[in-house]
Amino acid sequence: MIRLRGLSDDELIDISKGRQLNLSLEEMQRIQKFFLEQGREPTEVELEAIAQSWSEHCSYKSSKPVMRRTIFKCTREGIISEDAGVVEFDEDHYYVAALESHNHPSALDPYGGAATGVGGIVRDVLCMGAKPVALANMLFFGPLSMPYEKLPRGTKHPAYLLRGVVKGISDYGNRIGVPTISGLICFDESYTGNCLVNVGCAGIMRKEHLVRSKAGGEGDIFVIAGGKTGRDGIHGVTFASYELSEGSEVFSRPAVQLGDPLTKEVLIHAVLECVEERLVTGMKDLGGGGLSSCVCEMSSELGAEIELANVPLRERMEPWEIWVSESQERMMLTVREENLSRALEIFEKWDIDAAPIGKVTSDRRIRIFSNGTKVADMPMDLLSGLEYERSFRKREVRERGIEFREPENLNTVLLNMISYADVASKEYAIKQYDQVIQGNTVLYPLQGRFNSKGPGDAAIIKPLESMRGLAITSDSSPLKVGLDPYRGSMCIVEESLRNLVAVGAKPDSLMDCLNLGNPEDESIMGDFVSVCEGTADAAMAFNLPIISGNVSFYNESSMGAILPAPVLMGIGIIDDVRKAVSMDVKSDGNSLYLIGETDNELGGSQYARLLNLNGGMVPEVDSKGFMKKARSLLKAMDLAIIASCHDVSDGGIGVALAEMLFAGGFGAKVSIKSIPGKASRFDQKLFSESNGRWIVEVEKGEEKSFKELCRDAIHIGQVTEDRYMKIDERIDMSIDDLYDAWKKGIDV
């Protein structure tokens, strides 16, 4: 028993800190009051279970009230949103997708933290009954050139973190046999003390194989399967619910889990075989909070009795440690008693540890035993989590342009911008990821010629025998969100859709992962509210559901809070993958067109960052105009009159055109003097990051058909054979020089 009766406030806080519960004084007082009313003290298991369920990570206590008014409204009929989102793919199949964060563990142990992040998101898709078919990742680090003397004590260098994270993701994803086909890497000094590692997964399944994340019914048997339980990952969710400090390296290291991809690969096969034989009545992965969160969430509307002595262990452990351990590669299934022996037989065939550890009840209580001795007995309501209406203060946003002198040598500016870490090639990471395994990848993240590939807008997989495909993109824009959280978040939604359309896919759904600092700070909570409102308003304007997501708070260190980093994973459907469009130009003599208007919108742009300019207008989002242009462009792609297409985003027209050219191995002669929009100066037209724009290469002889479909498109030039990019009289550069600068931008 843990003595709480008669303890002072200071003594309650000492217990919270000493046991790494990360509960506030008010929360500890609430627990104290509950057990006083029960006339007893809590057991270790009970106190630890409450701490897990009340953590920010598990209960979403600061974010849920806001998301209920915003993000949760972005849905449509027929979608299931549990551990992962489930959406119709075709008449017989669903696609399943999820997006999560694993930030704090990756800051302490970049390899292990990133690897287990991938493992966790794969389990989220698997537990719905789906086969994982694609992975994505979104990574944020401090500057790679950060001097070591500027690093806070206890903080690892960004280059070390990048190497470890990429290696962890590649080793895990490659070994479980799931291709990693989408991602992004951003850099900012604010991420130096707290890097961000967000991971996504998509899967495919037959509709009749759908499994819910809930226990089937009274009398069903809980079966734990997969890796053995150990002491790694204890207090993982409570660790993720407070800020990193110099002491985190020592005190929080046990919270980082240990991954085992070889066990996971076999576990996937075993679980899917149980699903295909219709043995499973409910399923959930053991992630944050371990058994505590898993069992209580599965049986929250029913009840459960668990015997901890039956849990397969790697080492001798205390009951409370077994209950909250976040050891990896574990799944929880409920099966009917008559199907238990067959389920265990399947796991034995695959050489996977599996054991019945309890049963589903109907009294809405959780009872936990250890070798027959009761170590916990609580009502489910106590473990349902908390909700707080945090006070917030939105930031004041001033919408005005930036006054500065136009640089004389824009060739040098463009060369510096394309080599800037956020814009430069991410080939260092991409080539470590297996994109070919499973044999379903149709369009890769790097596209174009073998020796000078450029960055694709989205990747495409063909998960079934039909020609129908899934397009996947990963997007964020912390610079824009940092200036205007509402409009910046809308920009991310629009860019996600723009990327999907660029490859010929119709946008179908979104997932979000919202990374911010301490929600108890009114200004940070204000940013969160604005991010949710902007994301939801844009998604609803485009009539797109947000099917899954995650909120990661307390991303702070001694350097302060991170730049807000909402991340989206977008999924589109392409009816025929043979009509997919890549971003590399295909032939000299083809015409180049610009779709969309260019305004003086440099706020949060790479151009503004390069010139150290503050403020400016964050681009607006025109949903109606976008939808009209997107429909026309998709029709042109369906008719196969588009040779290549690239969205205009980071770096504006200058960077987008350069990427298309060096990926294709051609040059271009272009004029942007007369492009539509409010941008007046040449540098504004070249580097503005206005939304709703694509550069399109049209096949010879198809210009008339294209113009009939895309009436707003403006002819800006031709593809040439001379391997030089010439834009009016201001830009004249070798595409080889541009490619070399882009290729060498990240040096680790």
Do both 743 and 595 map to the same domain? yes
726 DSSP β-pair partners: 669, 732
Instruction: Tell which residue, 154, 297, 115, 147, has the closest CA to residue 213.
Output: 297
Sign, CA torsion 294/298/299/305: negative
Tokens 């809590």, residue located: 42
Q: Are 182 and 458 in contact (CB under 8 A)?
A: yes
Sign, CA torsion 197/282/81/59: negative
DSSP letter, residue 722: S
Do both 273 and 410 map to the same domain? no
Task: Please check whether residue 151 lies inside any domain of the structure.
Answer: no
CA-CA distances (angstroms) from residue 350 to 226, 335, 438?
A: 10, 18, 20
Phi, psi (degrees; rounded to nearest 5) at 347? -65, -35
What pLDDT is recorded for position 247? Answer: 53
Do both 592 and 688 map to the same domain? yes
- Overall number of domains in the chain: 3
Collapsing DSSP to helix, strand or coil, 284 comes out as strand
Active site residue 104: no
Domain that includes residue 27, residue range: 9-56
Q: Are 502 and 584 in contact (CB under 8 A)?
A: no
Region class of 665: left (phi > 0), else alpha (psi between -120 and 50), else beta: left
What pLDDT is recorded for position 250? Answer: 47
Give one DSSP letter per residue of 569-588, joined into a string.
Answer: EEEEEES-GGG---SS---T
DSSP letter, residue 420: S
- Give the start-end residues of each E strand in 478-589: 506-515, 546-552, 556-557, 560-561, 565-574
**CA terminus-to-terminus distance, the chain:** 51
Task: Please check whether residue 459 lies inside any domain of the structure.
Answer: no
* Catalytic residue, candidates 93, 102, 104, 646: 102
Do both 298 and 419 map to the same domain? no
* Catalytic residue, candidates 57, 104, 235, 646: 57
Q: Are 126 and 204 in contact (CB under 8 A)?
A: no
Do both 275 and 406 map to the same domain? no
Task: Please check whether residue 78 lies inside any domain of the structure.
Answer: no
Q: Which residue, 326, 351, 382, sits at the end of a domain?
A: 382
Separation of alpha carbons 399 and 408, rounded Å: 27
Separation of alpha carbons 284 and 290, rounded Å: 11
Alpha helices in 350-426 (DSSP H): 410-418
Do both 367 and 405 map to the same domain? no
Instruction: Tell which residue, 493, 509, 485, has the closest CA to residue 86.
Output: 509
What pLDDT is recorded for position 603? Answer: 95
644 DSSP β-pair partners: 697
Q: Are 728 and 658 in contact (CB under 8 A)?
A: no
Instruction: Tell which residue, 687, 646, 648, 686, has the closest CA to residue 664.
Output: 646
Do both 377 and 402 map to the same domain? no
Instruction: Tell which residue, 510, 445, 499, 505, has the closest CA to residue 469.
Output: 505
Can you say how many angstroms the Cα of residue 556 is from the centroid of all Cα atoms in its chain? 19
Task: Please check whether residue 525 lies inside any domain of the structure.
Answer: no
Phi, psi (degrees; rounded to nearest 5) at 607? -65, -45
Do both 586 and 733 map to the same domain? yes
332 DSSP β-pair partners: 224, 284
> 700-706 long-range contacts, Cβ below 8 Å, gap at least 24?
700/587, 700/589, 700/590, 700/591, 702/641, 703/591, 705/636, 705/639, 705/641, 706/593, 706/636, 706/641, 706/642
Q: What is the CATH number of the domain that holds 329?
A: 3.90.650.10
Q: Are 738 and 413 in contact (CB under 8 A)?
A: no
What pLDDT is recorded for position 251? Answer: 47
Task: Please check whether residue 38 lies inside any domain of the structure.
Answer: yes
Task: Please check whether residue 470 lies inside any domain of the structure.
Answer: no
Task: Please check whether residue 671 lies inside any domain of the structure.
Answer: yes
Do both 364 and 403 map to the same domain? no
Do both 331 and 411 map to the same domain? no
Indicate the residue type of 321: E
Do both 704 and 635 map to the same domain? yes
Task: Please check whether residue 392 lies inside any domain of the structure.
Answer: no
Do both 303 and 404 map to the same domain? no
pTM here? 0.95
* Residues of the chain predicted below pLDDT 50: 250-253
Active site residue 269: no
